[in-house]
């Protein structure tokens, strides 16, 4: 990956809000749903998502800014493990006595990265990875194939409604412990943001643009959900900011009831219209109404 700041068009002093805003803007532009069949847009969407996932991790961002890791998360220096004795030709009294070339290792892993407990630690029974997951996969569940550090590939079942930061345990798939028995693999899920939906537990929130006429007269419009679009009834005389609920159209977890979809109405005014402006001026005189209380005087 190239510089994640460049990928999102940001400066290095960008705030967390700046990073999220830049990602949302670019994700809307290059999202596969809006660029069907466009392989370049799909690649761009993947790159900006990878960059966002990298920069939203405060520890990775700190290490990158300090030059400790590169843009792929790989360390910029080798780590050393302690050797029991010097190899052939090793000196006996220098500061590097007791190390051989076989002791030098570099634990480079792109995508899912195994976490070690330190350069001198023995292999632990548990191995830790982080998985970046698209919003829809987290909501509806999926099966993802992942590659482990030992070269094996395994299929991981992602349960419906998995939460950001939730840990998936794969028993018996980790490194061997001191007793020779394999430990577990623990995968921490990081969910990518969605350009349309925001998650609140198992509920989803969506902002729906509507016309002035739809707000005043009422209408039936189609709105997206995790399972396809459905019809939403907008009552007449709806104000901007009004929240409508679609029961059961949020996230349906593996256990427990499904959440709801909360739709916030956003009224978008039409282009300048002299006839409409004239009508409203007359109407404001003959049928005035107040929306502000005395606290605004």
**What digits encode the pLDDT tens for the residues 68-98?**
777 877 665 333 333 333 444 444 444 444 4
pTM for the full model?
Answer: 0.55
**275 pLDDT more than 80:** yes
Closest CA relative to residue 226, chosen from 203, 209, 255: 203
**234 pLDDT more than 80:** yes
Q: Which of 24-38, 62-76, 78-92, 173-187 has the highest mean pLDDT?
A: 24-38
With a CB cutoff of 8 Å and minimum separation 6, the contacts of 108 are 74, 75
Region 120-137: mean pLDDT is 74
Domain spanning 109-193 has what CATH number?
2.60.260.20
**178 pLDDT more than 90:** no
Residue 68 CA: distances (Å) to CA of 12, 16, 64, 72? 15, 21, 6, 11
185's tokens: 């693999």
249's tokens: 């159209």
At 120 the pLDDT is 44
Closest CA relative to residue 224, chosen from 240, 236, 207, 238: 207
The CA distance from 110 to 97, in Å, is 32
Region 111-130: mean pLDDT is 55
1-71 and 198-270 have identical folds = no
Residue 69: DSSP 8-state: B
Domain spanning 1-71 has what CATH number?
1.10.287.110
**4 pLDDT more than 70:** yes
Q: In this structure, are residues 10 and 19 in contact, taking their beta carbons and an 8 Å threshold?
A: yes
**123 pLDDT more than 70:** no
Residue extents of the structural domains in the chain: 1-71, 109-193, 198-270
**122 pLDDT more than 80:** no
Give the class (CATH, top level) of 198-270: mainly beta
Burial of 129 (0-12, 13-18, 19+ CB in 10 A): buried
Q: In this structure, are residues 243 and 263 in contact, taking their beta carbons and an 8 Å threshold?
A: yes
At 76 the pLDDT is 56
């Amino acid at each position: 990956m190239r510089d994640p700041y460049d990928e999102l068009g940001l400066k290095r002093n960008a705030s967390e809000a700046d990073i999220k805003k830049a990602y949302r803007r670019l994700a809307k532009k290059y999202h596969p749903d809006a660029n069907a069949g466009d392989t370049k847009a799909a690649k761009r969407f993947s790159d900006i998502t990878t960059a966002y996932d990298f920069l939203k991790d405060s520890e990775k961002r700190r290490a990158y800014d300090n030059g400790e890791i590169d843009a792929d998360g790989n360390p910029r220096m080798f780590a050393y493990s302690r050797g029991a004795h010097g190899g052939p030709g090793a000196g006996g009294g220098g500061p590097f006595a007791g190390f051989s070339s076989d002791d030098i290792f570099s634990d480079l892993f792109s995508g899912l990265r195994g976490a070690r407990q330190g350069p001198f630690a023995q292999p632990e029974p548990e191995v830790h990875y982080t998985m970046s997951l698209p919003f829809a996969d987290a909501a509806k569940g999926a099966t993802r194939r992942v590659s482990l550090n030992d070269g094996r590939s395994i299929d991981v079942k992602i349960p419906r409604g998995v939460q950001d930061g939730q840990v998936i345990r794969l028993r018996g798939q980790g490194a061997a412990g001191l007793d020779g028995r394999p430990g577990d693999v623990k995968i921490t899920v990081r969910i990518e943001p969605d350009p349309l939906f925001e998650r609140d537990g198992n509920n989803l929130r969506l902002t729906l643009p509507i016309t002035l006429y739809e707000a005043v007269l009422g209408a039936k419009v189609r709105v997206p959900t995790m399972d396809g679009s459905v019809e939403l009834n907008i009552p007449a005389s709806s104000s901007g900011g009004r929240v409508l609920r679609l029961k059961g159209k949020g996230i349906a977890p593996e256990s427990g009831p499904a959440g709801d979809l909360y739709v916030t109405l956003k009224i978008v005014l039409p282009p300048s219209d002299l006839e409409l402006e004239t009508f409203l001026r007359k109407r404001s005189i003959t049928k005035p109404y107040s929306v502000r209380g005395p606290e605004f005087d």
